């Protein structure tokens, strides 16, 4: 099983969670770490390269911090440009069929905010539904997301546990 982890973080240098997660993945056998902002500093995505990378892997992980209950904008641009008709969708667009897709998300707010009675009203799983629906449309098997809540109050120890659990989930 070869896994491609696509990271989108507009401010990676200042990141705590996504940076630590990424460090944990570096050097793991059969895991390719692909940081979109590092690969495309001008945000001009090389669609051919993205297609090739995905073809070479069986599982694709989209890793990002939650921004306005969604992904940072470069990941939306990546979807718009890379999941093309005739390649990922449409009657002949079957290149991703059968691959696994997973979302790895860090949030600022704690878990208790993310439910029907909490301040955010919805769970993160519910808010990820557009991405899940996209995964269904492109014929991937969408795996349960890996979520790190409440980054604002995270301790060093919790961060280490999170990084180890994340690596386990990516390899599972
Ligand atoms: C523009 C922006 C929007 C954000 N929107 C949300 C949000 O909708 N929900 C939330 O829980 N946190 C939100 N946050 C907080 C980030 O999700 C949080 O800082 C990040 O997940 C921490 O990961 P990092 O240490 O890798 O940066 C937002 C942060 C920024 C800068």
pLDDT (tens digit, 9 = 90+) per residue, 3-62? 999 999 999 999 999 999 999 999 899 999 999 999 999 999 999 999 999 999 999 999
Pocket test of ligand 1: the residue of 19, 105, 108, 166 to mutate, having most ligand atoms within 8 Å of its CB, is 108
Atom of ligand 1 nearest to the CA of 149: 11
What pLDDT score does 152 carry? 78
Q: Whose CA is nearest to atom 3 of ligand 1?
A: 67
- The CA radius of gyration of the chain, in Å to the nearest whole number, is 16
Q: What is the DSSP string of 95-129?
A: TTTT-EEEEEEE-SS-GGGSSTTSTT-S-HHHHTH
Q: Is the pLDDT of residue 70 over 90?
A: yes
Give residue 3's Cα distance to chain centre.
12
What pLDDT score does 151 carry? 80
Give the 3-state secondary structure of residue 53: helix
Mean pLDDT of the chain: 97
- For the entire predicted model, the pTM comes to 0.98
As a whole number of angstroms, the distance between CA 101 and CA 144 comes to 9
Q: How far is the CA of 1 from the centre of ligand 1 (A)?
A: 31
CB atoms within 10 A of CB 10: 16
CATH at residue 25: 3.40.50.360
Domain around 31: 3-171
Count the domains in the chain.
1
As a whole number of angstroms, the distance between CA 17 and CA 62 comes to 14
Mean pLDDT across the stretch 85-98?
Answer: 97
pLDDT (tens digit, 9 = 90+) per residue, 108-132? 999 999 999 999 999 999 999 999 9
Percent of the chain past pLDDT 90, that is, above it, reads 97
């Amino acid at each position: 099983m070869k896994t491609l982890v696509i990271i989108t973080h507009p401010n990676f240098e200042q990141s705590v969670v996504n940076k630590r997660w990424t460090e944990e993945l570096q050097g793991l056998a059969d895991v390719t770490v692909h940081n979109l902002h590092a690969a495309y500093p001008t945000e001009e995505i090389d669609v051919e390269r993205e297609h090739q990378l995905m073809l070479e892997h069986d599982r694709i992980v989209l890793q990002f911090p939650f921004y306005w209950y969604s992904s940072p904008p470069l990941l939306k641009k990546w979807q718009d440009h890379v999941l093309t008709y005739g390649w990922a969708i449409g009657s002949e667009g079957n290149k991703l069929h059968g691959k696994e897709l997973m979302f790895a998300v860090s949030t600022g707010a704690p878990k208790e905010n993310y439910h029907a009675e909490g301040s955010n009203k919805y769970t993160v799983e519910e808010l990820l539904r557009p991405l899940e629906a996209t995964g269904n449309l492109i014929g991937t098997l969408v795996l349960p997301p890996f979520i790190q809540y409440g980054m604002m109050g995270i301790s060093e120890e919790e961060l280490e546990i999170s990084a180890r659990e994340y690596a386990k989930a990516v390899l599972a």
